[in-house]
Amino acid sequence: MKLKLYLNYLLKPVICGLLIAAGILYGPVIFKSLTKESTHLPSVSSYSEAVKKAAPSVVNIYSQQYIDSNVGKKQQLQPTGLGSGIILDSNGYILTNHHVIAQADQILIALQDGRLFTASILGSDIVTDLAVLQIEGENLPVIPQNPDYTPEIGDVVLAIGNPYNLGQTITQGVISATGRSGMSSTGRQDFIQTDAAINEGNSGGALINSRGELVGINTSEFYTGNSNVTYGISFAIPYQLAKHVVQGIIEDGRVIRGSLGIEAENLDPLLARLWGLEAKNSIIVKQVLKGGPAEKAGMKNNDILLKIGNENAANLIVTMDKIAKTKPGTTIKITILREGKEQQLDVTIGELQ
């Protein structure tokens, strides 16, 4: 009994002393660790890496024209246009909008690293409002490109350009729609719609995804009939279409497009049902142009296009794009429906003028 009391009397101070010593030794470490965890902030969501990859390759474009001078009869170069462009490869090829450089007598290119160049025009394509310029320089920044990327509604995108000559500016949004057509005077562009802000000076700049890859070429804002800007609706030309245009201009100095010589539209769903067809896979010919490839092959108004070669005539945009990419002089089989009967026509593709 006395031994038990003695041990209790002796052990209590020892245990207390050990606990106090442990608190002195390890308390600051534990407190620091807990404080660090309690003050740790969540990571910031950022697209800075994508911008770092793409932004250096987006250039400022300044167009100049010779204007009659008030002094004597001499003409002087005056700034007349502002836009943006994209360096596509180390050869100095720059893609921009045709309207940015359409009236230019001289084109100045300003890189983000401070270098200034005079550009030459390799060619333009009014149909898609695209132009290819070239500069000569070393260590040119090239925008990342992914031919396998397909834009999808909801993808986050960033627009890079020089709005109102404020300096390079980044705006952010999502892809609102794809396959928008009829937004231009030609009606042939296949636009990407986005809510990323695209203002004057952004034309020809880059629309990139969250990896910094080129998605499209910024081209315009949407205007209502009374010329008021509708905010949150902007357009860009898809990279895949632009790439085809660039290749044509570099190789041939222009874009050579195939033509059927018809005016057509997607088949009305009601008519398609009457003929037992799927409207999404059929096109109706509204007019066969006189002397064109289709007329020579025997095509008539109100013929239904079912197949181009072995592929279904999915819709007007896809089908006309396939024809446009076919080399003039090529003969292809086109399956049509006329008066309820399928027929095949051999059509020799002409050149779109």
Please identify every residue annotated as catalytic: 99, 129, 203
Burial bucket for residue 187 (CB in 10 Å: 0-12, 13-18, 19+) = exposed
Query: Tokens for 16?
Result: 């207390």
Task: Give the list of residues 6+ apart from residue 36 with CB closer than 8 angstroms, or none.
Answer: none
Residue 24's φ and ψ, nearest 5 degrees, are -65, -40
CB-based burial, 203-215: b 16+ in 10 Å, e otherwise: bbbbbbbeebbbb
Amino acid at 244: H
Is the separation of the CB atoms in 129 and 98 below 8 Å? Answer: yes
Q: 316 φ, ψ to 5°?
A: -60, -45
* 135-167 b/e (C-beta count within 10 Å ≥ 16 → b): beeeebbbbbeeeebebeeebebbbbbbbeeee
In three-state secondary structure terms, 344 is strand
180 Cβ contact partners less than 8 Å away, ≥ 6 residues apart: 190, 191, 192, 193, 235
